[in-house]
């Protein structure tokens, strides 16, 4: 389950916020609470700006269990036949899957050994991501590392022409063709249902294909085949992930006691009071990938028309020793949201040392979880006292269901935030600017 606390941030809103008039295009009554409720109702009714891109809600309203089973079956095949799955994509075509896999995976892999000491078919699959940059050394070293291994490829792109993943896939396709006689059986294309270069290539070469629904944008595609195939191949329960989101969607259907609405309203109120940057801070390093997914979701959805909070991420306690000074005493334009895990089912106890050379016996007998919780509480109170509005989201454990809940919570909240800002939260016109200049320099 998730728990939410936004009251410590809300008190930093300027007094003018509640008296604002309605945002142009919204029909709700004046006042922030009324406008937030109107935004919520527009999202549920599909009457807000960009409603043609609400497929991420529609797939939850009408779950396709046959598709979930098909993906699970493919994942079993990949885990049985392959040592490595290369996932090629950029932005929403890789961030969500990478985030979930990192959150659910152990930090250090322990292979499952058979009777003769060899890794068994149940050993973890290496899921490696490519196509999210154009580093020469990364791709060169990646393919060098694959020699002698059984490899599958999942290329994820609606168009098939986005430069970074298209380059990586050209390398991967030729490498696969030179190493496997059945390369077409080992390549899975997740793409547009009907059109695009990747769809055409998959049809020509006989790749298996899965559809990214046309009404789902990349950053909202985690619960489509774009995210579910890599997550399932990594060995995780996509049904629990998917239905965790379904459960959260149903819980957020009412505007009453709605934490996504409260989060959106608090963020907007602080934005209107002059704050410019939101930090999403975690105390569990496995959640850093989810922070990166959140960063894209909110950055691309809200950063338009010179509006929106800049999304930044911190991993504590590590970053308390790098940018902690700035957060505590720098320019007071920051708000901070803590994403916390309240799980102490297994925690190492700090040992006692009779000589106490490091002076740590005052924490001897305490668990690392207790120390981490104290670090969170101390950081929150210190930053609050330093003038940073703080709020918290707490997960009782890191599980597929809870991550599914968190995914929908953020998707719902950012949609409301976009409507409150008076922008379309589902497009990203600014992304094309760098592409145009890059293509010009490359001679396209």
Over residues 309-363, the pLDDT tens digits come to 999 999 999 999 999 999 999 999 999 999 999 986 778 999 999 999 999 999 9
Query: pLDDT tens digit string along 168-226?
Result: 999 999 999 999 999 999 999 999 999 999 999 999 999 999 999 999 999 999 999 99
Q: Identify the pLDDT of residue 239.
A: 98
Q: In the numeric block, which tokens belong to residue 152?
A: 């599958």
Measure Cα distances from 371 to 10, 321, 349, 361 in Å. 28, 16, 10, 13
Does residue 28 carry a pLDDT above 90? no
Q: What is the pLDDT of residues 272-317, one digit of tens each?
A: 999 999 999 999 999 999 999 999 999 999 999 999 999 999 999 9
Average pLDDT, the chain: 92
Confidence of residue 41 (pLDDT cuts 50, 70, 90): very high
Which of 20-34, 79-93, 281-295, 377-391 is predicted least confidently? 20-34
pLDDT for the residue numbered 29: 53
Nearest to 89, CA basis, from 164, 161, 177, 142: 164
- With bands split at pLDDT 50, 70 and 90, how would you rate the model's confidence at 23? very low
Q: How far apart are CA 104 and CA 398, in angstroms?
A: 7
- Give the whole-angstrom CA distance, residue 42 versus residue 51: 9
- 444 SS3 class: coil
Catalytic residue among 16, 133, 149, 435: 435
Q: What's the token pair of residue 145? A: 């590392």
Considering only CA atoms, give the Rg of the chain: 23
Res 17: pLDDT: 67
CATH of domain 2-50+242-421: 3.40.50.10490
Helix (H), strand (E) at residue 2:
strand 2-5
Per-residue pLDDT reduced to its tens digit, 53-71? 999 999 999 999 999 999 9
Reported as half-sphere exposure (CB side, CA atoms, 13 A), residue 368 has a value of 8
What does the block give as tokens for 57?
A: 């809600």
What is the enclosing helix (H) or strand (E) of 280? strand 277-282
What is the layout of strands, in order, in the sheet containing 310-315?
A: 2-5, 390-395, 334-341, 277-282, 310-315
Residue 149 is classified by DSSP as S
> What was the pLDDT predicted at 20?
53
Strands (E) across 49-101 are located at 84-88
- 132 has catalytic annotation: no
Peptide bond into 317 cis (omega under 30): yes
In terms of Cα–Cα distance, which of 290, 246, 267 is closest to 408? Answer: 246
Strand ranges across the sheet with 126-130: 126-130, 84-88, 151-156, 187-191, 208-211
What's the average model confidence in pLDDT over 118-138?
A: 81
Indicate which residue of 278, 300, 336, 400 is catalytic: 300
pLDDT band at 119 (very low <50, low <70, confident <90, very high): very low
Whether 79 shows a pLDDT value over 70: the answer reads: yes
Question: What residues contact 442, with CB distance under 8 A and at least 6 apart?
Answer: none
How many whole angstroms separate alpha carbon 67 and alpha carbon 320? 44
Q: Which of 279, 284, 226, 283 is nearest to 98 (CA)?
A: 226
Q: Do the Cβ atoms of 365 and 349 come closer than 8 Å?
A: yes
What's the confidence (pLDDT) of residue 21? 43
Burial track 188-212 (b if 16+ CB lie within 10 A, e otherwise):
bbbbbeeebebbebbeeeebebbbb
CB 151, CB 82: distance < 8 Å: yes
Which tokens hold the place of 39?
Answer: 């935004």
- The helix/strand/coil state of 395 is strand
CB-based burial label for 4 (10 Å; 0-12, 13-18, 19+): middle
Q: Are the CB atoms for 59 and 187 separated by under 8 Å?
A: no
Among this protein's residues, is 321 annotated catalytic?
yes
The H or E element spanning position 123 is none
Closest CA to 208 of 229, 227, 224, 222: 229
Return the sign of the alpha-carbon dihedral for residues 221, 224, 229, 235. positive
Burial of 152 (0-12, 13-18, 19+ CB in 10 A): buried
- Percentage above 90 pLDDT, the chain: 85
E-assigned strands of 287-401?
A: 310-315, 334-341, 390-395
Q: How confident is the model at residue 22 (pLDDT cuts 50, 70, 90)?
A: very low
* pLDDT, tens digit (0-9, with 9 covering 90-100), for 152-161: 999 999 999 9
Domain boundaries, the chain: 2-50+242-421, 63-236
| Residue 284 exposure: Cα atoms within 13 Å on the Cβ side | 24
Whether the Cβ atoms of residue 260 and residue 252 lie closer than 8 Å to each other = yes
In words, the CATH class of domain 63-236 is alpha beta
Per-residue pLDDT, averaged over 371-395, amounts to 97
pLDDT band at 16 (very low <50, low <70, confident <90, very high): low
Topology match between the domains 2-50+242-421 and 63-236: yes
């Amino acid at each position: 389950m998730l728990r939410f606390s936004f009251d410590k941030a809300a008190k930093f809103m300027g007094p003018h916020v509640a008296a604002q008039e309605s945002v142009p295009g919204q029909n709700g009554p004046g006042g922030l609470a009324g406008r937030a409720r109107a935004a919520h109702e527009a999202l549920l009714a599909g009457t807000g700006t960009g409603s043609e891109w609400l497929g991420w809600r529609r797939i939850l309203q009408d779950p396709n269990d046959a598709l979930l089973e098909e993906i699970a079956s493919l994942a079993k095949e990949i885990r049985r036949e392959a040592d490595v799955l290369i996932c090629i994509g950029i932005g929403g075509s890789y961030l969500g899957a990478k985030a979930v896999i990192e959150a659910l995976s152990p930090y250090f892999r322990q292979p499952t050994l058979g009777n003769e000491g060899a890794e068994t078919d149940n050993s973890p699959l290496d899921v490696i991501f490519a196509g999210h940059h154009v580093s020469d050394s990364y791709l060169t070293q990646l393919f060098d590392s694959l020699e002698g291994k059984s490899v599958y490829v999942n290329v994820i792109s609606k168009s098939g022409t986005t430069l970074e993943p298209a380059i990586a896939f050209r390398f991967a396709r030729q490498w696969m063709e030179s190493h496997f006689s059945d390369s077409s059986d080992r390549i899975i294309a997740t793409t547009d249902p009907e059109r695009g270069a990747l769809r055409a290539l998959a049809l020509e070469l006989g790749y298996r294909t899965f559809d990214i629904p046309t009404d789902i944008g990349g950053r909202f595609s985690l619960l489509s085949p774009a995210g579910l195939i890599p997550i399932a191949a990594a060995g995780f329960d996509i049904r629990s992930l998917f239905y965790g989101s379904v459960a959260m969607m149903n819980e957020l259907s009412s505007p009453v006691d709605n934490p996504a609405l409260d989060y959106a309203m608090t963020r907007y109120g602080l934005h209107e009071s002059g704050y410019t940057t939101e930090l999403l801070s975690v105390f569990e390093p496995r959640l850093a990938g989810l922070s990166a997914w959140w960063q894209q979701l909110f950055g691309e959805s809200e950063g338009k028309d010179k509006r929106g909070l800049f999304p930044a991420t911190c991993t504590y306690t590590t970053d308390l020793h790098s940018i902690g000074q700035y957060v505590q005493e720098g320019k007071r334009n920051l708000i901070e949201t803590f994403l916390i895990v309240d799980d102490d089912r297994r925690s190492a106890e700090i040992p006692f040392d009779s000589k106490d050379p490091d002076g740590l016996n005052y924490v001897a007998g305490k668990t690392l979880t207790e120390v981490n919780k104290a670090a969170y509480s101390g950081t929150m109170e210190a930053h609050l006292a330093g003038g940073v509005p703080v709020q918290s989201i707490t997960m009782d454990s890191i599980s597929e269901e809870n991550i599914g809940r968190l995914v929908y919570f953020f998707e719902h909240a950012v949609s409301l935030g976009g409507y409150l800002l008076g922008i379309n939260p589902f497009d990203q016109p600014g992304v094309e600017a760098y592409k145009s200049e890059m293509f010009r320099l490359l001679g396209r």
